[in-house]
Structure 1
Amino acid sequence: MPCLDATIPAFSLAFTFAMGFALPDPAAAQAAWTVELAPGLASDAEAGRSAGGRVSAGVMWSLGAAGASAGVVLGAASFGDTRTGPWVQRHRRHTSGPFAALQAAVPLAEGWQAQARIGLGRWQTALVTSVNGAEVFESSEPHIGLLLGAGLTCRLPMGLGVVAAVDVGQHRFDGLPTVRPVLWSLGLSATF
């Protein structure tokens, strides 16, 4: 089974740091670094559930007194396995890779915050095809694809939080229909 590809493109990392240094001092003073680690389950109608997860780090800037914030996050995600096709010829796909996203957060109530993100991932989809249960083909293929996500964070003392999130990715391989698995995760966040 392919493992989580945690590499982050150097240009994206350089862009994030450049944005932080280019902002004027008052705006930079309102910046907060955030880190999330959220293991979870990827669900697919045919395959059921399989392990997945998301890890991200980024910088969020305050958008005013209302407590809303927005920023850039970089990370990596793994969307588990999907299985398509009948037993005679079955395709199992697993997608993982780094991503860059814009993320916004809005306070809901005391200690609660909703977040949404949209970005692009440099996904690597591994494909294993089996015929009557025997593996006959194995390959992998890179592609650029959309990442959509939303979450709910409960803030704890000392900048920590518990985050429940849902992310939608895609398993894409030339010649096969695109499958969009949903990753349900529960994890920890830290803001400093």
Structure 2
Amino acid sequence: MSIFNPDFELRMKARQQADAVLVDARPRQPAPKPLHVAFRGPTADALRRVADARQESPQALAAAIVERALRNGTAEEGLGEARAEQLAGGQGRRPFGEACDLTLKQCAVIYLVGSHGGAKGWCGWSAAALARLMPDTVDGGNVVDVLAALARRGLVERARQAGRAPRPCRLTELGFAVYAQLAGEFDDG
């Protein structure tokens, strides 16, 4: 007795061909690029408290709040004249062509290094000194991390330095292009 059923095989092959035609006939739209947001400090704590009280996940709660604000048109109303990047520190990313997206801290460090570079572009300020010129949420350790990230992305060049002395840094050509754009925005307004 054979387990091969020619009628079944033919029906399956016809169904697969029909499915292939249906799949190919549908217009393909690229999936939207995912958006990841991190909440820190008091905002994260408040989301966790409300989510715990509702017995829901904080991620689902945050997504629902944002979705409702966007759908109801209250997102703009809630922000008023304030810039979102200023209200939600650490969240803002700005596109800069070849430099890709930069965080506000990265933009601030690029601006400070570009503004305080000497004759050959080298900024000799320590990370702690640069941090003192930035918002209260930034310390010298953060600036060291930001400088390392910018160096990996080819925006900043860091000098080799022996010991614990501040490591001078300067903008690369790409970093200077970002700085010029930032400086233009700052000078214009």
Report TM bin, short chain: under 0.3
The structure with higher relative contact order (CA 8 Å, sep 6+) is 1
Bigger Rg over Cα: 2
TM-score by length of 1: 0.24
Whichever structure has more helix as a proportion of its residues is 2
Q: What TM-score comes out, normalization by structure 2 length? A: 0.25
- Larger proportion of strand: 1
